[in-house]
Amino acid sequence: MADYDLADPLEETAEAIATMEVRGAATIAGEAADALATQARETAATEPEEFRATMRAAARRLRETRPTAVSLPNALRYVLQRMEGNDVETLRESVVRAAAEFDRRLERAQEDLGQIGANRLQDGDTIMTHCHSTDALACVEAALEQGKEIEAIVKETRPRKQGHITAERLRELGVPVTLIVDSAARRYLDEVDHVLVGADSIAADGSVINKIGTSGLAVNARERGVPIMTAAQTIKLHPETLTGHTVEIEMRDEAEVIDDETRADVGDIDVENPAFDVTPPRYMDAIVTESGQFPPESIVTLMRELFGEGADEPWAES
Ligand code: RUB
């Protein structure tokens, strides 16, 4: 593989995504688009083909950081598909413009889906959350703006405890929060009116891929009769699942689950750390996007509208 001049800020963004300093599907997408714009500004490429090849290499570097959130390749695709021009300056401008446009659409989509998700919530409702999803929080924020009072039971979300971020954000919004460990969720579901989660990817059959523990929560919510919705902008729709591909579930380092000393005390065991799981559509009541609310089984119609029959890989080395 040829060596390309990748700018330091692009490497830094890739590293921040891989180590989860930058995390959450929507945030990752926005940062990736911005990193492409920075790469376009800072590249030393002087020939159009060299510029294009460097941008494709930059996209590949970002693509390899985390495999599950499809918002990442969808962001890269959005920007690279709009890279056009016969000279470096025009190419550069097209990338910078596309990244800015992507950011604006991301923000608007979140606001729009927030309004739709908020309509599902009633004044006085208690919600239960899992992980930290900015799309899910947009629904709560919009409900509060509509004058509704909302309380929250927030799952800690082992092993990285993203529930702490959710708890802090909700507190900042003035929502009374009760933090619980993950295994207490079923006990508290009787006090809950809605379960509200985000998504890293949504497959063509309506399966929701989100932080590990979402599927167990969904099964329990169904058993307790508590509605569960996924708040997910359309950049979470996974176009490759239209052609039968499955979504890769990221396996992360065991050190996130158990420290070296404890592991040595326990003895010779295997430790696994899947970051995400798959909730089948029958356990999800609704997928809320900026284009409206969908029963999971019908999300495929929206996917076909947006992606046709599949998606290309404009970052491929040619
Ligand atoms: C984050 C996670 C979030 C989704 C949606 O996982 O699973 O629920 O990404 O987030 P991680 P958003 O912390 O491993 O990245 O709604 O902000 O896109």
Cα 105 to middle of ligand 1, angstroms: 18
Give the class (CATH, top level) of 119-306.
alpha beta
Residues with CB under 6 A from ligand 1: 20, 23-27, 69, 131, 133-136, 162, 198-200, 210-211, 275
Among 131, 139, 212, which residue has the most ligand 1 atoms within 8 Å of its CB, making it the best to mutate? 131
| Atom in ligand 1 nearest the alpha carbon of residue 26 | 18
pLDDT at 311: 84
For the question of residue 139 being annotated catalytic, the response is no
For the question of residue 131 being annotated catalytic, the response is yes
pLDDT at 198: 98
In this prediction, the residues of the chain whose per-residue pLDDT falls under 70 are 1-2
Residues 6+ apart with CB under 8 A from 108: 290
| Atom in ligand 1 nearest the alpha carbon of residue 138 | 16
pLDDT at 231: 98
Residues 6+ apart with CB under 8 A from 124: 148, 149
CA dist 213 and 191 (Å) reads 19
Do 48 and 91 contact (CB within 8 A), yes or no? yes
pLDDT at 2: 60
CA dist 182 and 206 (Å) reads 25
Residue-range domain boundaries for the chain: 8-112, 119-306
Cα 283 to middle of ligand 1, angstroms: 19
Provide CATH code, domain 8-112: 1.20.120.420
pLDDT digits (tens, 9 = 90+) for 159-183: 999 999 999 999 999 999 999 999 9
Residues 6+ apart with CB under 8 A from 267: none
Among the options 125, 131, 277, 285, which is catalytic? 131
